[in-house]
Structure 1
Amino acid sequence: MVVALGLGAACSGAASPPAPPPSPGQQAPAALAAPAAPPQAAPRQAAPATGAEAQAFFSGVDRDLRALRLRSARAAWVNQTYLTDDTDALAASAEEEMMAYLSRTMKAATRFDGLALPPDLARQRTLLKVSTTLPAPSDPAERAELAALAVEMTSLYGKGKYCPKGKLGQAARAATGGVSAPGVATGSAAAAGAAARGGAAGAAAPKCLELSDLSEVLRTSRTWDELLEAWAGWHAIAPPLRPKFERYVALGNKGAAEIGFPDVGALWRAGYDMTPEAFEAETDRLWGQLKPLYDELHCYVRARLRATYGKDRIGDKAPIPAHVLGNMWAQEWSHVYALMEPYKGQPSLDVTRKIKAKKLDEKQMVSLGERFFTSLGFDPLPATFWERSLFKKPVDRDVVCHASAWDVGDRDDLRIKMCIEPTEEDLITIHHELGHVYYYHQYHELPILFQSGANEGFHEGIGDTLALSVTPSYLKTLGLVDRVPEDEKGLINFLFKKALDKIAFLPFGKLIDQWRWDVFSGKTRPADYNKAWWALRLKYQGVAPPVPRSEADFDPGAKYHVAAGVTYTRYFLAHIYQFQFHRALCKAAGHTGPLHACSIHGSEAAGEKLRAMLSLGASRPWQEAMQAMTGEREADAGAVLEYFEPLRRWLKEQNKNEVCGW
């Protein structure tokens, strides 16, 4: 679910803003605060608009949006941490209220087009035009329908479950002593409830599996059929979303047309201080710089997977089946590292094993992330963060476990929502989410339209920038690795594992929105949704479905960001920006060695440079924010290539006898 403004929740992908979750066993609040006052629309008049009128208008927008954001944030937080039909309705109502306000206000603001304004007002005018990712039609019934669709898709995704048969079902029965009901729970509350109750009266409770359970299978199993069942089981939750998504596209496009955009995708691309066409060309430019490195990684990984699963399943010049890469969407591959570790016998990089051995709980893992930020001179997290965040999956209710960071209103009410597991992946995600949180903290006193990242990629990139400083040397200080790799073999192991996340992700990060841009523009018709999805995954990732797919499937809907309407190019950009940011901060910290060896942990000089950029929020075009941090005005994939240069040379040598490509 996502309305607008880049406000409220961010990251690994939430969207609308957030309120305190009910304690386990409590009822969710039955109502929210009173509705917002009517928006302050500019009056129609024959006289030319004036600067004073514009000042009064944007002061009213700031006041109104603060109130609306707080209500929307509270409704969204309660909904995502307590998924019921009632909280769906409350969130949809708040969503609709925000949509209605923005629709009227964006149109009213056109009165000031062409008027010379002071820089801060001119910037607010620019940002208001692109302040929503889901523009609503002016028709009240259609607006209400669109708001409900946005909430329903997120809720259905959060409730999705698969009730297994086959080997997964046997494992579930062994674990629970119950009887697995065959088939798939569609994600509806009724279906989920029936599955949890075991179906027929008197039947033993089955073990129906949620996304976290199925993802664990993808991470840990190396049995082809188990992986296949887990992959297909989760993707089977998505078809009920398809008609809702189709209607969501139609209504969103109608709303976009009313505010002067050809379609929703053009609106999304307009939010980067350049034309939509220039921005799309920019993403193509950056991908072109990095594709050769991805191709080398793909070639090496495919050869090692072929050695595990056989040439009959993974051919010489074939795409990789999507279910054998350790991740439900094949977007990050580090969980198959053990199958293809370049050099055995090097110091262990198994941080997950150490986290479990130390029995670190959820709050202790978050505290490690907080300590990294305070070492740079940032404030400790407020007490309310620890009281109001959701760190652990509740056992008594459905929640949206997808990790996200929140600022509830403009009051520095900082939180994260995350079902934390004791893994290295989640430790890195915690650093990422706290990057959002500290970004919120630095700009929360700015005018509301400036309370966002310089662009969406900046917000996503900051946490990952800090995570790049989680080097083996730093992990050793935490007791999470025993020895630091010191020779060339240890370095290749480290960089290879890092590339399985950072480089493997890049094409996936680009194609999600490429698919949606094509859908919104009409290039991809509803009858071809799934066909177009897999065509892009083949083109960019070299990944293919492990079983035949058809238009009866809706595989894009098995990805949270599609169901929740969260833009995704932000993550592609973040995976490039973070290395550019890292290079600049390492320079500020006085680091002189290879970029991959740098950790800014403990450097207040680096922290000062970081805070200076964060405090700008969206008050300046992103090119100026980039310059403030790095001294450069363009995105530069060169920092990624510099970081991974030793690995690139090694991969080319390893692939000499391989037929690369697909």
Structure 2
Amino acid sequence: MTSLALLLAALAVVRADPAPAPAPAPAPAPKPAAQLEFDPNFVDLGNLPGRQTTARPPGDGFQNRQFDVGGRSQFDGQRPIDGLGQRPIDGLSQRPFDGVSQRPFDAGLNRQYDARQQPFGDINQQPFDAAGRSNGGRPPYDIASGGRYPPLNGDANFRGAGGRSYDGPRVPQTLFGDVGQDQINGPSPSLPGAPRPASSYPGDRDRDRYNGPGLNGDAPLLRPLGLDGGPGGFGSTGPDGAPLRPLPPPNFIPEGELRELLGRVDSLTSQQCTHTVAAQWAFETNVNGVTQVSALEAQLQNSELQRAVRETLNQVDLNLVENPDLARQIRLLSVIGPAALPPDQLDRYNGLINSMLAVYNSATICAHREPLRCGLRLDPDLTLIMARSRDWDELQYVWLEWRRRSGFKIRDLFDQLVDLSNVAAKHNNLTSFADYWMFPYETPDFRLQLETAWEEVRPLYEQLHAYVRRKLRDFYGPDKISRQAPLPAHILGNMWAQSWSNILDITIPYPGKNFLDVGPQMAAQGYTPAAMFRLAEEFYTSMNMSAMPAEFWSHSVLEEPPARVVVCQPSAWDFCNRKDFRIKMCTHVNMNDLVTAHHEMAHIQYFMEYKNLPKIYRDGANPGLHEAVGEAISLSVATPRHLQALGLVQTAVDDLPHNINFLFALALDKLPFLPFSLALDKWRWDVFQKRKTKDQYNCHYWFLRERYSGIKPPFLRSEFDFDPGAKFHVPANIPYIKYFVATILQFQIHKAMCRAAGQYDPDNDELQLHKCDIYRSKEAGKILKRLMEQGSSATWGEALYAATGESRLNGSALREYFRPLEEWLQNENLRTAEFAGWTYDGDYCKRSIETAGLEVYGGFYNAAPGALQAGAAHGLLLLVTVSLALSHLRLPR
């Protein structure tokens, strides 16, 4: 492949293997201990008063270290260090390096640099003078103290918490530099001020290289990071041939060359991304065999390039990369997931996913009590039945049959996928595929944060659960739903009970007090799909954010085109060339699509804010943040206050019944989803980490569903069933926890923007969080910009902190948003003596009960007909997962 050849050629140009280091000179014979006392007359090679170590003679063999030719510093591997504290020092000047950053003193200013390239000095970071004192005659500060100790001018006996600094004559007991007390300082060297040769040297904060005076006129402190052997440079030697500074390790790449290499990688990956995204766009906007093949070929090319980049960057030792930004780029580029698999295993991995999705997407059932009306698919047939039917037996039947026709058939394939996914994780130097899914969050305690956020929300969910259980008990009867039991999964309006929005008609707190639907008003005012997106654009420009570029309007697909098949799921696309951004959506003129238009354009705003970053950084700071931003915007757009500002509502009713209905409807969607998403991925983490084996898959799944959601299956389940496989993301092997993260973060972001806009005051009923609209707030726009512009160049905690002042997941903002509803639910449940929570009321799953081979008619088991043959694998199915990686597809959760 051309791009691969270019990359390898770039590597050959950028990185040349250095010559091997010369063998070190034999260690000089140890001196008697008596000669190790401080000698004020000792003179080093540069005729400068020097220092001499104590407690260890030269060449004592301790950890195979040697003294340098001046008899003072020791080498450990490739770095000169002092004796006891093992802090790297410069072999020529004897000045200590910072132990973390290994940046040298600037020979002219006697400054030392920390890991952020800030000079150490006194408390004001003043440079040391030539006599080793800081500005105004103040003593220099000990490295370990980091400038924490105040200056004590003229005090030769100052000591503080292990860090020491002195002004005046030094005696054998006064130690400078390392807190390990392994060096004795003689008088500071005087600098003759002779200029350095006209070449560059590392160390200066304001310039990548430093040209300044050397220590002795002809021996510069350090050479450039290139492999030259000039005086004091890498590989230079003293009069006796011993190395003053060792050659760098074989896998050391100077920073400038590493930066050039990453620039080439960025160019190649950007070009390949443009090609891959364009091919996927062509497929999704014109589904046919030709575009399908082109999209698959482009994806394979992308995987090859990912592997080539990873193999190249694996030659770089991150321990030798001082620049944190370059190290971060390499780390992110080196973790590529399943693409790291060898080609044959990658083909098998994709084949397993294709086979499972073929079963999932071809699964059909027959209608309840109508055995001749068959071919009912998940979408739209079964989804509509689960949403609209109120027939207990029909809902039981559909719930069970879908799982029998989908998840049950892929159980063995999924088990194979688990093993192969873990192989892929090991190719990425990770322990399990669960660790690969956690990698983008870059937070060691992230799973704890998830649990903590859920526990913060759980009291609100339990109040909602109790209220809904009472309403369903009143509707279906106490013989089917008891007062304290978990809720049966089949009567909640959704195939997976992850959203309860479709049972609003049964559970609405104030019937007849309907919340706003401006669809009819939009039609009456002549709205079109294009006008809806122009309205969304004006929302962002009112906040001082960017207008859409010309390419957006000419290239986006905002309506379903005639005469060709289009994947209509709303999605936002970044073509990786910093100018071409698009939305694909089969828009209808209604309120739901108006909100979705704003949501999708939030992704475009995100793309444009980080477009100038390297390709590896052009993404959200974590997998859920893109979605969180879009949903945070939606919270404002759907408010009566905003719809009134658009002229779609003449007078918004603001009273308790309307507010409670509004919050309740939203809570039915947002709250049940949290425990569902957490349980689903906790189950998969346990599976990937082999905490649960194949014969525990299904029962463990139901244990987690009951524990987190208070949901139980309508029938006793067994390990012959595989109910998690009835959810698309499981056979597609797509992580789900990002939706949990997005749900929590959207309220944190919303709260921060509302506070900045002056639209939120917890003590003011008119400025409650659920009423906030950030439209026309430039201050809220600043919050969004700060969050978006960093892309993934910073961790998500850092990006979130820059925007909101918080760096962790926090469920309190969600609780605050729903506070009026929570108070209402508490009072209502108290009034009816409802139990908030649930109690285990029997077995939900047993290993030995064989229900998988049975069908249900009217609630009774009957022998099932023969198993449906699994459909053939199609490239179209793989492209669904590819699209998720290339665009911000609003996949149904």
TM-score scaled to structure 2, two decimals?
0.60
Of the candidates 332, 337, 348, which is equivalent to residue 145 of structure 1?
348
Q: How does 1:357-436 map to 2 (within 5 A)?
A: 362-363=529-530, 365-382=532-549, 384-386=551-553, 388-390=555-557, 402-418=569-585, 420=587, 424-436=591-603
Q: Tell me the alpha carbon deviations over residues 410-435 of structure 1, each in whole angstroms, 9 at most, x when there is no partner.
A: 34432334455666555444433322
* Higher relative contact order, structure no. (Cα contacts within 8 Å, ≥ 6 residues apart): 1
Match of 1:269 in 2: 438
Match of 1:612 in 2: 786
| More divergent stretch after superposition (501-510 vs 356-365) | 356-365
Match of 1:29 in 2: none
Query: Which amino acid counterpart does residue 328 of structure 2 have in structure 1?
Result: R
Residue 356 of structure 1 deviates from its aligned partner by 7.5
Shift in alpha-carbon separation, 1:363–1:262, aligned structure 2, 3 A: same
Query: Which amino acid counterpart does residue 659 of structure 1 have in structure 2?
Result: F
- The answer to whether the aligner puts 1:53 opposite 2:220 as a matched pair is no
Of the candidates 368, 376, 394, which is equivalent to residue 166 of structure 1?
368
Shift in alpha-carbon separation, 1:594–1:103, aligned structure 2, 3 A: same
Residue 226 of structure 1 deviates from its aligned partner by 4.5
Query: SS at 1:114's partner residue?
Result: helix
Shift in alpha-carbon separation, 1:653–1:324, aligned structure 2, 3 A: same
> Does the Cα contact within 8 Å between 1:96 and 1:144 map onto a contact in 2?
no
Distance 1:279 1:319 in 2: 28
Match of 1:112 in 2: 317
How much is the aligned-residue C-alpha RMSD, in angstroms? 3.3
Shift in alpha-carbon separation, 1:439–1:484, aligned structure 2, 3 A: same
Query: Which amino acid counterpart does residue 124 of structure 1 have in structure 2?
Result: Q
Distance 2:395 2:531 in 1: 32
> Does the Cα contact within 8 Å between 2:515 and 2:661 map onto a contact in 1?
no
Q: Tell me the alpha carbon deviations over residues 159-213 of structure 1, each in whole angstroms, 9 at most, x when there is no partner.
A: 446354237x69xxxxxxxxx653x5xxxxxxxxxxxxxxxxxxxxxxx445134
Residue 214 of structure 1 deviates from its aligned partner by 3.1
- The answer to whether the aligner puts 1:125 opposite 2:310 as a matched pair is no
- The answer to whether the aligner puts 1:76 opposite 2:250 as a matched pair is no
| More divergent stretch after superposition (35-44 vs 649-658) | 35-44
Shift in alpha-carbon separation, 1:602–1:156, aligned structure 2, 3 A: farther
Query: Which structure has the bigger radius of gyration?
Result: 2
Distance 1:209 1:459 in 2: 31
Of the candidates 822, 828, 847, which is equivalent to residue 654 of structure 1?
828
Match of 1:134 in 2: 338
Distance 1:240 1:427 in 2: 39
Query: Which amino acid counterpart does residue 581 of structure 1 have in structure 2?
Result: I
Match of 1:307 in 2: 474
Query: Which amino acid counterpart does residue 263 of structure 1 have in structure 2?
Result: S
> Does the Cα contact within 8 Å between 1:273 and 1:621 map onto a contact in 2?
yes
Distance 1:362 1:328 in 2: 31
> Does the Cα contact within 8 Å between 1:350 and 1:481 map onto a contact in 2?
no
Shift in alpha-carbon separation, 1:639–1:104, aligned structure 2, 3 A: same
Query: Which amino acid counterpart does residue 145 of structure 1 have in structure 2?
Result: R
Query: SS at 1:658's partner residue?
Result: coil
Query: Which amino acid counterpart does residue 533 of structure 1 have in structure 2?
Result: Y
Distance 2:523 2:695 in 1: 47
Shift in alpha-carbon separation, 1:564–1:89, aligned structure 2, 3 A: farther
> Does the Cα contact within 8 Å between 1:442 and 1:614 map onto a contact in 2?
yes
Query: Which amino acid counterpart does residue 450 of structure 1 have in structure 2?
Result: Y
Match of 2:300 in 1: 96
> Does the Cα contact within 8 Å between 1:231 and 1:328 map onto a contact in 2?
yes
Shift in alpha-carbon separation, 1:60–1:430, aligned structure 2, 3 A: same
Structure 1: unaligned runs, 5 residues or longer: 1-32, 171-179, 185-207
Shift in alpha-carbon separation, 1:398–1:162, aligned structure 2, 3 A: farther
Shift in alpha-carbon separation, 1:404–1:539, aligned structure 2, 3 A: farther
Query: SS at 2:624's partner residue?
Result: helix
Shift in alpha-carbon separation, 1:359–1:497, aligned structure 2, 3 A: farther
Match of 1:629 in 2: 803
- The answer to whether the aligner puts 1:224 opposite 2:392 as a matched pair is yes
> Does the Cα contact within 8 Å between 1:347 and 1:485 map onto a contact in 2?
no
Of the candidates 622, 631, 641, which is equivalent to residue 815 of structure 2?
641
Query: Which amino acid counterpart does residue 414 of structure 2 have in structure 1?
Result: F
Query: Which amino acid counterpart does residue 327 of structure 2 have in structure 1?
Result: A
Number of residue pairs matched?
Answer: 591
Distance 2:714 2:394 in 1: 12
Of the candidates 522, 526, 530, which is equivalent to residue 694 of structure 2?
526
Which has a greater percent of helix? 1
Distance 2:722 2:289 in 1: 24
Q: How does 1:440-451 map to 2 (within 5 A)?
A: 440-451=607-618
Query: SS at 1:405's partner residue?
Result: strand
Residue 453 of structure 1 deviates from its aligned partner by 0.7
Query: SS at 1:329's partner residue?
Result: coil
Of the candidates 506, 522, 529, which is equivalent to residue 339 of structure 1?
506
TM-score scaled to structure 1, two decimals?
0.80
Match of 2:151 in 1: none
Query: SS at 2:729's partner residue?
Result: helix
Distance 1:353 1:153 in 2: 42
Residue 265 of structure 1 deviates from its aligned partner by 0.9
Q: How does 1:209-220 map to 2 (within 5 A)?
A: 209-220=377-388
Match of 1:190 in 2: none
Residue 219 of structure 1 deviates from its aligned partner by 3.1
Distance 1:321 1:562 in 2: 22
Structure 2: unaligned runs, 5 residues or longer: 18-249, 762-766, 839-893
Q: How does 1:184-203 map to 2 (within 5 A)?
A: none
> Does the Cα contact within 8 Å between 2:337 and 2:428 map onto a contact in 1?
no
Query: SS at 1:406's partner residue?
Result: strand
Distance 1:242 1:86 in 2: 33
Distance 2:607 2:799 in 1: 16
Of the candidates 450, 455, 462, which is equivalent to residue 295 of structure 1?
462
> Does the Cα contact within 8 Å between 1:348 and 1:481 map onto a contact in 2?
no
Shift in alpha-carbon separation, 1:223–1:290, aligned structure 2, 3 A: same
> Does the Cα contact within 8 Å between 1:160 and 1:211 map onto a contact in 2?
no
Of the candidates 671, 675, 678, which is equivalent to residue 503 of structure 1?
671
Match of 1:594 in 2: 768
Shift in alpha-carbon separation, 1:586–1:523, aligned structure 2, 3 A: same
Shift in alpha-carbon separation, 1:594–1:528, aligned structure 2, 3 A: same
- The answer to whether the aligner puts 1:286 opposite 2:453 as a matched pair is yes
Residue 340 of structure 1 deviates from its aligned partner by 1.5
Shift in alpha-carbon separation, 1:315–1:47, aligned structure 2, 3 A: closer
Distance 1:562 1:60 in 2: 37
Query: SS at 2:495's partner residue?
Result: coil
Shift in alpha-carbon separation, 1:107–1:440, aligned structure 2, 3 A: same
Residue 451 of structure 1 deviates from its aligned partner by 0.1
> Does the Cα contact within 8 Å between 1:410 and 1:445 map onto a contact in 2?
no
Distance 1:151 1:85 in 2: 17
Match of 2:205 in 1: none
Match of 1:9 in 2: none
> Does the Cα contact within 8 Å between 1:369 and 1:431 map onto a contact in 2?
yes
Q: Percent identity?
A: 38
Distance 1:238 1:86 in 2: 31
> Does the Cα contact within 8 Å between 1:92 and 1:150 map onto a contact in 2?
no
Query: Which amino acid counterpart does residue 808 of structure 2 have in structure 1?
Result: E
- The answer to whether the aligner puts 1:254 opposite 2:457 as a matched pair is no
Of the candidates 44, 60, 63, which is equivalent to residue 267 of structure 2?
63
Residue 600 of structure 1 deviates from its aligned partner by 0.3
